[in-house]
Structure formats: C-alpha cells, structure tokens
Structure 1
Amino acid sequence: MDFIIDKQSLDELNLTGKFRQGSVYQLFNRVRTRGGEQLLDVLFKKPLIEPGAINERTAVFRFFREARLDFPFDTQQVSIMREYIDAGNQQGMLATLGAVLTRKLLSVLTHDDRFKLLIQGLQATIMTMKRCYAFAETLSASAGPFRERALEITRILAHPQLRELLEVDIYHAMSIRETARFDHLVRNRLNPELQEMLRFISECDVNMAVAEVANLRGFTFARALPAVANMLDAKDLRHPCLEAAVGNDLRLEAGSNVVFLTGANMAGKSTWMKSIGIGMYLAHIGFPVAAAEMTFSVREGIFSSINVADNISLGYSHFYAEVVRVKDAADATATGRHLLLMFDELFKGTNVKDAYDGTLAVTEAFAEYRNCLFIVSTHIIEVGEALKGYSNIQFTYMPTVMEGMMPKYTYKLEKGITEDRQGMMIIRNEGILELIRSRRQENTHIK
C-alpha cells in the first residue's frame, strides 16, 4: 500500500519543486551530483509506511550527521564517468579494439574528439573508482548502519579486473590495446558493477546533503511507530523553511486525536498547521524534522485544505470548492486508512451562519474516526463551545497580545479557546472608515 497525498496537499505544504521558491525540497537540495539529485527526487516522492524501513533510513542519516564526513568525490569526474559508462555497448573485445583504433586514427587525421573523450571518460572512471574504494573502506571500518552497504561496494571493487583498473596510473599513457581492453571492461563486461558503484556515490551524496541540513538547522530525527498506535508527539515543532521560526509542542493520541484550533487572522494558525503537515511528511521519508524530538505512528496519507481556491473552468465557487474538498477527505477517511487531515478556516466562502453550522457538523463527523488524526482551525470561536462535550477533542489557540492599540502575535500555542476579537480594532487602526468617509465627502463636494 502506498502513502497517499494529492497535488493540492503537496502544493499547500510547498513540499516538492526544485525551482519552487521556499519549497521543502529546495531546502534539502544540497546534493552535488546528478545521480544524487535524481535519488533525492525519488525519496521525496515515495514516503514510507513501514516503521522499520523509516527507522532504518533515519539511522543512516543520523550516522552521516554525526560522522560529519566530507564528500570525497570530484563532481566533474563523476559526471564524466556517468556519461562515459552510460554509453555502454554490446561489442566484443575485437570490435572494441577496432573502434578504438579507428577513433585514434581519426583524431590524428581529422582532429576528431571522440578518442580524447574516450580517454577522459576512462581516466575519470579510474580516478572515481580509486576514491570510492578508499571511502568505502573507511565506512566499512565503522560500526554504523551504512557499513554493510560500504562492504558491498568494496567487494565489487575487489573484482580482479577492477582491481587491475585501480592500479592504473591515469597520468601514464596507455597503449591502444590497453585502452581498448579497459574500455571493454568498463562499458561492457563490468558495466553493471560500475553502475552500482555510481548508485553508492549518489546515496552518499544524498546522505551527506541531508546530514548537512540537519546540522545547519538543528533538526532531529523522528521515531516511527506502527499505525495502530495512532499518535503524534512532538516537542518544539516548527516550520523548517522559516528563519527563527517559533516552535510548539503537540500531542495527539487515540483518546485525544482531534485538535480544534482558534485564533485571530494573522495569529499563525495556518503556519502551525503547515508545520505539522510538513513535519509528518518529512518523518515518513526518513528525513530530519524541525523539532527538538518527535515520535509518531505512521500514517497512510496526508490530506489538507488550507488554501482552497475557486475553479472557474469547472464552474466552482470558492464555497463549492471547499465542499468538494471536504467530500474528498470524507471519502479518503471512509476507507479506514490511518490519515492526518487538516482543515484551515472551513467554509470561509459562505456566510457566518452556514460556516458555523458546517464547521460544527464536519468536526463532529470527523471526530468519530479514532484511527485518524484531525486538525481544524477557525476564527468562529462559538463552534468550540458547542464541541466541548467531545472527550477526544483538545482545544488550543494562537493568542493575540495587545500593546496599546496594536495587536502583537506570539505564535506560541496555548490551551483553550481564544477570546480575541480585535477585527474592528485593526480596521479602525488602519483608518479605513475615515478614508471611506473622506472620499465620500470629496465626491459630494465635487458634485
């Protein structure tokens, strides 16, 4: 069974996208090689749902974070090697010798570059092999979780013919016959073994990039539990992409699996919900999370409704788009999957009375699903009073602190339901009413 998350949730949490400003992917994209970037893409798109697999991956990342290793490879040589061995062929030794000889002659007679590129590819391969063997030996000597993988690579490079390549002095001119024999080994006979070595280099690249981010940002690694535990316990959880982000604690469990979040606009409700969703997603790919510590039971998917927009092409109003989104969430929940569901300011596209009734009804309905974790935010605080009879709903809010006539936001979560009602005060502070009146007087005077 695969982890489910749709495009809207991915976009709302800004998880993926190499060129998307402020994306979580962009935060971790410190890889140095093309293979590393390809592997990073795969990891980001394939969250795990087995606790053992998640904890094994986090153990590897933790090992690299603590080891603080330097990337030992020349990225340009790795790139040249990849292009060289990817152009493998199925020729026999005699055909390879003929092709190399032809390229050599053409390079002398017509200044053809193909023989030069062949030599450069072979040299880059040999040098990368040397560095990989030395690095794999270093990792093999440790007792870390990456030791078996490193031993696998040292065994591959211990192949007699690859060992012969490791002994080659790349600065010493090779004969045509030697060049052809090594070219045949690298691009034909032992090509699968060298492709595996490149995969190892890509893995090291990603492991070091992720470890670097964890160290620079002070991130930690979450511990995964089976889905039936149905809990999320995080300390100082914060948004990973915001500098000086404010962290908060969160605990959800079977008997308290619903968070009803209130607070004024701009108090930080949406950012807090995004922090939770991002943290849960990163935990499922085994990446470090922006928290002091975190333990979670695996989810089978994440479903969010934070920035729902109208859909003109389908004729959807904003309100109807919200309704469709809630229906999709209900369908996903009804499957019995263990999900994390987050709804920010439900039904803000309709009148206050309908928004109240809808928010109350939807929260009551989702609260019945004890196998899911559910977070709903609203500034219609009266809904909270109507929900106080539910034992599995916990009430939290983002406070507003008044400094004179100006509201300030702490972004620190507190228990209970907010009593903040500063909307009209903000409107007055901005001078909106006076502006409207003055414009009306100007228009009256002109007439």
Structure 2
Amino acid sequence: MIFSIDKQTLEELNLTGKFRTGSVYALFNKVKTNSGERLLDQMFRHPLIEASAINERSSIFQYFEKAGYAFPFDPQQLTQMREYVDAAGAGSAALVLAQTFMKKILSGLTRDERYRKSIQGLQATIGVLQRCHHFIDTIQPPFVYEAKVDQIRKILADKKIQRLREMDIYQSLPLKTLAYYEHLLKTELNAGMAAVLAFIDELDVYIAVSGVSKSKGFSYAQALASEKNMLQAENLRHPCIDKAIGNKLQMDRQSNVLFLTGANMAGKSTLMKSIGIGLYLAHMGFPVAADQMQFSVRQGLYSSINVSDNIGLGYSHFYAEVVRVKQAAEAAASGKRLLLMFDELFKGTNVKDAFDGTLAITRSFADYTDCLFIVSTHIIEVGEALKDKRNIRFAFMPTIMEGAIPRYTYRLKEGITEDRQGMMIIRNEGILEMMED
C-alpha cells in the first residue's frame, strides 16, 4: 500500500520540485551528491505508511542531528568511483589483463583516455573506501541503524577490500594490480561496492536533512497507530516562512473536523498548508516545523486550496470546485484514513449557494469519523448552523482593528469569528472615491 496524494495537493502545498520557488523539497535539498539528491527525491515521492518505519527513520535523523557530522566524502571521488564500478564487467581476469595492457599501449600512441580513467577510477575507489572505513570507526549508530552499519563494516573488513583501501593512491599503480582490481570490483566485489555507495547516499541525505532541522529549530513527530485518528502539534508553523507564527493543533476522533473561520488575509490558507506540509513530512520521517507533534498514520492527504477553472475541459471555477469536492467525497467513502482540507468551499458561486453547499458538505464529512477534515470559510453563519455536530471543533484566525487598519495575529483561537472588515478594507483602498471621480 502507498500513501495517496494527487498532483493538485502536491502543487498546492508546494512539496516537490527542485526548481520551484519556495518548495519544501528545495528547503531540504542540501545534499552534496547527485545520487543523494535522487534518494532525497525518492523519499519525497514515497512517504511511509507504517508507524514503526516512520519512527525508525526519524530516530536515525535525530541521531545524525545530535552527532552533527559533516559529510566526509569528496563528491568528485564518489562520481569517479560510481562510474568505475558501474561499468560493465569485461569477462575473465586474463581478458581484463589483456584489455588493460592494450589500453596502456593506446594511451601512449594516441589520445585514448581509457587507461588514465581506469587509474583515476581505482584511485577514487581507494579514497572513498578509506574515508568510509574511517567514518564507520567513529560512528555509534542508534539500534535501528546498527544492522546497516554492521553490513558496511563487514564489507570493508573483507581481506581483498582491506588490502585495496590500504594502498597508497599517490604511488604508481602497476598494470597487473590495476587489472586485478578492475576485474574484482566489477565482478566478485561489485555488490559490496554498490552497498557502500548506497550507504553513502543515505549518509548524504541524513546529514543534509538533519542539518536543516538543527538550523531551523525543527523537531521530529511521533507516529501512532492509524486507529487512534489523532493529530496533535505544538507551535506548528510553515517550514518555508522565516519567523512564521506557530499554532497549537488538536484533532482526534471526538473532534475530527476543524471548522475554521476568519477574514480574508487572516492566515487560514497558510495554516492549512502548514498542517498539510507538517503531516506529509511526518510521514516521511523528516523533521517538522513544530515544537512537538504526534499523529496517527494516514493513508493519504487531499487538499482543495487553490482550485481554478479548467478552460481545456470547459469547467467554470465553481464546477471545478464541485468536481474537486466529489473527488474528495469518493476518497473519504473509500474507507481510507485520510486528512482532507478545504479552503473556502464554493467561493465560485453566490453567497446563498455557498452557504448551503458548505453546510451540507461539512455535515456529510463529519460522519466519516475515521478521517480528519479541515474546512475553512469566511461565511461565518455556516458555523452557527453546525453547532449541533459534537465532533466539529470551531476555531478562527482573528483580525484586530487598530483604528481603520486591520492587523492579523495569525494565532488560532477557539470559536467562530465575528470579524466583518471587508467594506472597511475596500474603503481604506479608496476604491469608492476613485469611482466617484
């Protein structure tokens, strides 16, 4: 089973994308190697759905954050080693010796670079193995990572590899030695070298991500069984916003629907994005922008925050919203344990229809107690009509008026807002006066 998330949710939360401005992926992409970057991308695309696996990975990140290691490898050496050991095997030892001899002859007669690259590849491999052996000797891994470290330690303890890593890379390598190890590393020892390189990719990600966590003051969430159906966090904030305001969040089976009100610009959308991003990162075992967080494992995440019309399909803005809500309803009815978030339901239609639609949909969602829902609106009358539903918690993002100027605290408060500053903001912008001139 995989964690379900669609393209729209990924884009609304700005989770993935190396070159997307302000993406969560870009925030954590401090790796040193291309292969480490590929592993980071894989982790972002495949969140975990088992509580034990999530907690194990987060414990490894916590270890590396506490240890404060710097990445101990030369990225150029790693690239040369990878190219060297990944090259196709050349057959028997005798054939490799003959080919190596021929490459040396050609290197002296022509500009053939293969012999020089073989020497550089072996030298790089020796250098990487030496650094890896030194690092393994210094690391004291947590229990959940001991098996991986022991595997690499055993590979490096192989007598043939031990002789190789004890060689001086600054001395001339005899042709026979070059041919011997080229054959060995691409045949008998190839699986071991692949394991070492995979281990180094993991180190790259663990060190990079934990370094971001330490610099940003993040923490690690605790994953709980999905049946508990809860999400709790202290000082939860958006990880990509400097000096972001944090909020306390508490959702459980008795209050699995958070009905969020507040004026436009009060921070409802940012809060919802913060919750979605936090939950997604938590399922990856990654650090989250919160002081503390616990969550029941979800099977997926679904949002409707920035729905737009679809000219290609002939959808109006309102119909696109309806289609999105239908997709969410189907997901919830499938029996999966999900987090579903809706920002300003049915804003593409008139106020009466928006009121009726938001009320009906929120009531229906509240019946799916195995899921968690967040619904926001600025139609505060809907909240009053929902007060008979005991599993709906009401909260709002307040607006404080300082004279005629609104100030937004971005702090979540219990209840339903009474803020109605829309016309005041319009007057502040001088729109009516412009139209009268």
Segments of structure 1 that go 5 or more residues without pairing to the other structure are 439-447
Residue number in structure 2 paired with 1:83: 83
Alignment-mate amino acid for residue 384 of structure 1: G
Q: How does 1:95-114 map to 2 (within 5 A)?
A: 95-114=95-114
CA drift at 1:91: 1.3
Alignment-mate amino acid for residue 47 of structure 1: P
> What is the total number of aligned residue pairs between the two structures?
437
Task: Out of 198-207 and 89-98, give the one that drifted further.
Answer: 89-98
Residue number in structure 2 paired with 1:208: 207
CA drift at 1:164: 1.3
Q: What whole-Å deviation, never above 9, does each CA across 1:123-176 have from its counterpart, x for those lacking one?
A: 00000001111111222x455542321111010111121111011111111211
Q: What whole-Å deviation, never above 9, does each CA across 1:51-101 have from its counterpart, x for those lacking one?
A: 001000001000000010111111111111111111131411111111111
SS of the residue corresponding to residue 82 of structure 1 reads: helix
Tell me, yes or no, if the aligned pair for 1:84 and 1:121 is still in contact at 8 Å: yes
- Alpha-carbon distance in structure 2 between the residues aligned to 1:337 and 1:111: 62
Tell me, yes or no, if the aligned pair for 1:63 and 1:144 is still in contact at 8 Å: no
- In the TM superposition, structure 1's runs of 4+ consecutive aligned residues that sit over 6 Å from their partners are none
RMSD (Å), alpha carbons: 0.9
Alignment-mate amino acid for residue 71 of structure 1: F
In the alignment, structure 1 residue 190 sits paired with structure 2 residue 184:
no
Residue number in structure 2 paired with 1:355: 354
- Alpha-carbon distance in structure 2 between the residues aligned to 1:75 and 1:214: 23
- Alpha-carbon distance in structure 1 between the residues aligned to 2:399 and 2:143: 48
- Alpha-carbon distance in structure 2 between the residues aligned to 1:34 and 1:194: 17
CA drift at 1:426: 0.5
Residue number in structure 1 paired with 2:122: 122
- Alpha-carbon distance in structure 2 between the residues aligned to 1:335 and 1:234: 27
Tell me, yes or no, if the aligned pair for 1:3 and 1:46 is still in contact at 8 Å: yes
Residue number in structure 1 paired with 2:402: 403
SS of the residue corresponding to residue 224 of structure 1 reads: strand
Residue number in structure 2 paired with 1:247: 246
TM-score normalised by length of structure 1: 0.97
- Alpha-carbon distance in structure 2 between the residues aligned to 1:121 and 1:88: 14
1:300–1:157: structure 2 CA closer, same or farther, 3 Å change rule? Answer: same
CA drift at 1:186: 1.5
- Alpha-carbon distance in structure 2 between the residues aligned to 1:224 and 1:90: 48
Tell me, yes or no, if the aligned pair for 1:63 and 1:145 is still in contact at 8 Å: no
Residue number in structure 2 paired with 1:73: 73
Tell me, yes or no, if the aligned pair for 2:78 and 2:128 is still in contact at 8 Å: yes
Residue number in structure 2 paired with 1:92: 92
Residue number in structure 1 paired with 2:157: 158
In the alignment, structure 1 residue 334 sits paired with structure 2 residue 333:
yes
Alignment-mate amino acid for residue 287 of structure 2: P
- Alpha-carbon distance in structure 1 between the residues aligned to 2:114 and 2:428: 73
Residue number in structure 2 paired with 1:305: 304
- Alpha-carbon distance in structure 1 between the residues aligned to 2:236 and 2:141: 32
Tell me, yes or no, if the aligned pair for 2:141 and 2:149 is still in contact at 8 Å: no
Task: Out of 104-113 and 291-300, give the one that drifted further.
Answer: 104-113
Q: What whole-Å deviation, never above 9, does each CA across 1:100-137 have from its counterpart, x for those lacking one?
A: 11110111111321111111111000000011111112
Residue number in structure 1 paired with 2:39: 39
Alignment-mate amino acid for residue 198 of structure 1: L
CA drift at 1:4: 0.3
Segments of structure 2 that go 5 or more residues without pairing to the other structure are none
CA drift at 1:434: 0.6
SS of the residue corresponding to residue 287 of structure 2 reads: coil
- Alpha-carbon distance in structure 2 between the residues aligned to 1:380 and 1:233: 26
- Alpha-carbon distance in structure 2 between the residues aligned to 1:78 and 1:97: 25
Tell me, yes or no, if the aligned pair for 2:63 and 2:141 is still in contact at 8 Å: no
Alignment-mate amino acid for residue 405 of structure 1: A
Alignment-mate amino acid for residue 227 of structure 2: V
Residue number in structure 1 paired with 2:367: 368
Residue number in structure 2 paired with 1:5: 5
Tell me, yes or no, if the aligned pair for 2:341 and 2:375 is still in contact at 8 Å: yes
SS of the residue corresponding to residue 146 of structure 1 reads: helix
- Alpha-carbon distance in structure 2 between the residues aligned to 1:437 and 1:26: 48
Tell me, yes or no, if the aligned pair for 2:229 and 2:296 is still in contact at 8 Å: yes
- Alpha-carbon distance in structure 2 between the residues aligned to 1:12 and 1:256: 25
- Alpha-carbon distance in structure 2 between the residues aligned to 1:69 and 1:144: 18
Residue number in structure 1 paired with 2:174: 175
- Alpha-carbon distance in structure 1 between the residues aligned to 2:222 and 2:74: 35
- Alpha-carbon distance in structure 1 between the residues aligned to 2:116 and 2:238: 50
Q: What whole-Å deviation, never above 9, does each CA across 1:347-380 have from its counterpart, x for those lacking one?
A: 0000000000000000000000000000000000
CA drift at 1:403: 1.0
Residue number in structure 2 paired with 1:442: none
Tell me, yes or no, if the aligned pair for 1:88 and 1:188 is still in contact at 8 Å: no
- Alpha-carbon distance in structure 1 between the residues aligned to 2:318 and 2:337: 27
Residue number in structure 2 paired with 1:256: 255
Residue number in structure 2 paired with 1:57: 57
CA drift at 1:301: 0.3
Tell me, yes or no, if the aligned pair for 1:236 and 1:248 is still in contact at 8 Å: yes
Residue number in structure 1 paired with 2:421: 422
- Alpha-carbon distance in structure 2 between the residues aligned to 1:387 and 1:250: 20
- Alpha-carbon distance in structure 1 between the residues aligned to 2:74 and 2:35: 13
Tell me, yes or no, if the aligned pair for 2:301 and 2:339 is still in contact at 8 Å: yes
Alignment-mate amino acid for residue 238 of structure 1: R
Residue number in structure 2 paired with 1:235: 234
